[in-house]
Structure 1
Amino acid sequence: MPPRPPPPLPYRPPLPPRPYVMTVIWVANRENPINDSTGVLQISQDGNLVISDGQNSVVWSSNISTYVANSSAQIMDTGNLLLYNSNGGIIWESFLHASDSFVEKMKIFTDLSTKERNIMTSWRSLNNPGPGRFTFGTEPSQIPQAFVWKDGYPYWRSGPWNGQVFNGIPTTKSLYKRELHFVSDHPGSGYFIFTLLNSVLIYDQLNTSGIILEKTWSDKIRDWEVTWTSHKSECDVYGKCGNFGVCYTAGRPMCSCFPGFDPRSDDEWDEGNWTLGCKRRRSLQCGRNITGWGGGGNDGFLKMSRVKLPDNAKWYPMFETECRSECLNNCSCIAYAYYAGVGYMMWDEGLIDVQKFSSDGADLYIRLAESELGKEIFFNIHVALFRVSSMEA
């Protein structure tokens, strides 16, 4: 007798398709919203792109100063909205007026000579695209960096760009998904731009809290996934530990003073307020023949490994073998580093926004008076011996 066939499976209707994901990457009239559905986008008689309300009042314009006859507009696959003249030349584009998003082939730039900037500005709230408190951009210098500013003050910093990665951003998988470039056409100018690899869709968004979110499109969930964020801990807040303080996520507390430095305010430090930073225990001697505890008057250097290098570095053309003596012979030099892809950097003012990493990072050499350097060497040797004896026990 043939086996009985299995009972039929119950009918299950197919799942409805997910709603189409609307991703806003640019808003024209951020400061002048239209609170109903009467808004109209059109090309005006003078050739400008304009948005008008129900009373035919212009609430936004591309603001081309010269009259343009027979202009036309087109939105590209990149998301760039272009305005052309009658000869097909681009006379305005939305990519040069960034909103809160940084997408492929867009330039985030600053040009000090023309005082032109293209920066990202956060939304005021999740449902209000008006300009918020946070902006993102670059400061053109010999050592490029990216910043998030809060009300005009630094809130987050990338660390120096070495041509491939930012020193302050540990290696992420996105390095294999896109190529980021910094281009400087002339002194005082520079822009960041990226191109995508392997057909992966990625863009960056500056959210309402001042955090940069890297979003990658997932075909699996048919939505954007956050694959990187600029703020993984409190250590990512600019200057969390003040001048001459270093932040380490795994530290208890997370802030500590540089070797040879003490908190400026013990009371505030104990309360977890580290913004006043630290002060040097013993003044630098800078070659003076001064004696005291620990011997002579020479300065030396103590190496801090795997750190995000401080802000306000100065760059000079120098071989790596010359860095130590160059800094030592300069009484203004309080620290130096040699970072592959950048070269010699020195600091002559407070060392701020330093972070300790478990991997990656760079080596920073802190200048200390010889007496303090001796203490630190003794302390490190003592700790090392203690660890060895503990392991043997």
Structure 2
Amino acid sequence: MDAIYPTSNLFLSASLIISFFILPTAAAAPNSQLSSGQPLVDGATLISSDGIFELGFFSPGSSTNRYVGIWYHSFSAAAVLWVANRDSPLLDTLGSLTIARDGNLVILNGHKAVVWSSKVASLPSNETIAELLDTGNLVLNNSDATVWQSFDNPGDTYLPGMKVGLDLVTNVNQVFTSWRSNDDPAPGNFTLGIAPDQSTQFFIWEGDKPRWRSGRWNGQVFLGIQNMVTTYIDGFKLSDFQREKKLYFYYTRSNISHRYILMPDGVDRHLIWANNTNNWQQLWAQPNTQCEIYNRCGNNATCTDSTDGKSPTCSCLKGFESDNYGKAIGRCMRRKPLQCETNNGSTAGNSDRFYLIKGMKLPDLSYWDLDPTNDTQCKEACMKNCSCKAYSYQAGIGCLTWGRELVDIHMFSSGGNDFYLRLAGSEFGTNTMLSDHLL
């Protein structure tokens, strides 16, 4: 998901990205582990063995509520990376984190009532140890086997070593969820995860509606992210999901200070800590323009960002026209029916043809055809199938075809993909400009 943009806003101060947190001032616990019978009280902390990560109680922003969370111990304590009791805050400083009799990691309030639990099967508590690892992962081990870990229960932050994605057997989608606000870590309105249709795309959803998508992964970059370069994506790897039945993106980097955070406003930011400025540097953010908002211009229409930052330009695709007669874009409807739909394409010299559009973020809802092995075969397969309305052959993926409405099309100012749109032959006529794109 990494990309570098030559804008003047790449560097954000920590005060713009995160709010300040009220953190404990008591001396840190001397180790990274929590054993049965040794509760961690409010004011004490665990620190990972390399001294990078810390776990303890905190209050976010202007709130006085208390939560158990993980933050950077070594350079940026204000960046809370994970919260246990997101929607079950403690109202005072009398809480504790401990291992219960059934072996679960639990948070207790001042009355010793459980407000949060790891919810694993009952285990011998004397064989259970919680440990904060050097990766920032909080693990619960029983007889040296990990039975629960925070990396499998993510919040709003994606760290190196984590995975996000879909279990194709159980259909469990492991997603990231924004905070409600900078003062409230309760689950907010936005989630980030992998598309359930197995299209290898990242999505940000607002509620149950798509807000942004990355485009398909081609093994090196996400096709829907403009000017994405492979040198900045060297941490992502897609699982062999057809064999493993798990569609996961794994993220690994040697620099542990990298993180992605899904902000309360629905923007996903890639940040890295810069020691020379003691500040957060933004490497990437999406959505960043109006055209990056999902299907901003509607079906069968393209979205082009304005150069002055004002409203984008919406235009119907070639061969489509607005049903609103120029007052607004309205709905983009096909101007002339495809020949294959009217007479099986038998009109002499006027059968369906393909029109090339360059520099595009490919539409959503594509079908991955495994049979064609090159562009020519992909074109032929689409032409033989009247329900195929467009195609694009992409290195690293193969033949993509579209049989439904064409949605979420962004015209890039540079880069982008070739897209072949099926039109009735009569759309071309004798127009030489169209013939330049005729296939």
Tell me the TM-score normalised to structure 2 length: 0.76
Counting matched residue pairs gives: 354
- Please point out which of 123, 132, 135 is paired with 1:75: 132
After superposition, what is the alpha-carbon deviation per residue over 1:321-353, rounded to whole angstroms, capped at 9, x for unaligned? Answer: 211121111010000000110010100000101
Are residue 35 (structure 1) and residue 91 (structure 2) matched?
yes
TM-fit CA distance, 1:267: 6.2
- Please point out which of 238, 260, 276 is paired with 2:319: 260
After superposition, what is the alpha-carbon deviation per residue over 1:77-97, rounded to whole angstroms, capped at 9, x for unaligned? Answer: 111000000x21100000000
Task: Sort the Cα spacing of 1:90 and 1:268 in 2 relative to 1 into closer, same or farther, 3 A.
Answer: farther
2:152 counterpart letter in structure 1: L
TM-fit CA distance, 1:362: 1.0
CA distance in 2, matches of 1:259, 1:138: 31
CA distance in 2, matches of 1:178, 1:35: 43
Match of 2:227 in 1: 171
- Please point out which of 123, 127, 144 is paired with 2:179: 123
Match of 2:250 in 1: 193
After superposition, what is the alpha-carbon deviation per residue over 1:349-385, rounded to whole angstroms, capped at 9, x for unaligned? Answer: 001011111222211100000111337x445579xxx
Match of 2:62 in 1: none
CA distance in 2, matches of 1:68, 1:145: 41
Contact 1:200 1:217 in 2 (8 A): no
Identity of aligned residues (%): 38
Are residue 344 (structure 1) and residue 403 (structure 2) matched?
no
The ranges of structure 1 where at least 4 consecutive aligned residues each deviate by more than 6 angstroms after the TM superposition are: none
CA distance in 2, matches of 1:19, 1:339: 42
After superposition, what is the alpha-carbon deviation per residue over 1:226-284, rounded to whole angstroms, capped at 9, x for unaligned? Answer: 11101221001001111111111138852111101112334662xxxx5x541100110
Match of 1:144 in 2: 200
TM-fit CA distance, 1:23: 1.3
CA distance in 1, matches of 2:234, 2:124: 37
CA distance in 1, matches of 2:76, 2:381: 60
Match of 2:284 in 1: 228
- Please point out which of 240, 257, 260 is paired with 1:204: 260
CA distance in 1, matches of 2:323, 2:265: 30
- Tell me whether 68-77 or 236-245 shows the greater mean CA deviation: 68-77
Match of 2:333 in 1: 279
Matches for 1:1-393 after TM superposition, within 5 Å: 21-70=77-126, 71-85=128-142, 87-139=143-195, 143-172=199-228, 175-176=231-232, 178-186=234-242, 189-197=246-254, 199=255, 201-250=257-306, 253-266=312-325, 269=328, 277-286=331-340, 288=344, 296-317=349-370, 318-320=372-374, 321-374=376-429, 377-380=431-434
Contact 2:222 2:228 in 1 (8 A): no
1:301 counterpart letter in structure 2: F
2:336 counterpart letter in structure 1: R
Unaligned 5+ runs, structure 1: 1-17, 383-393
1:76 counterpart letter in structure 2: L
1:263 counterpart letter in structure 2: S
SS for the counterpart of 2:414 is: coil
Contact 1:177 1:196 in 2 (8 A): no
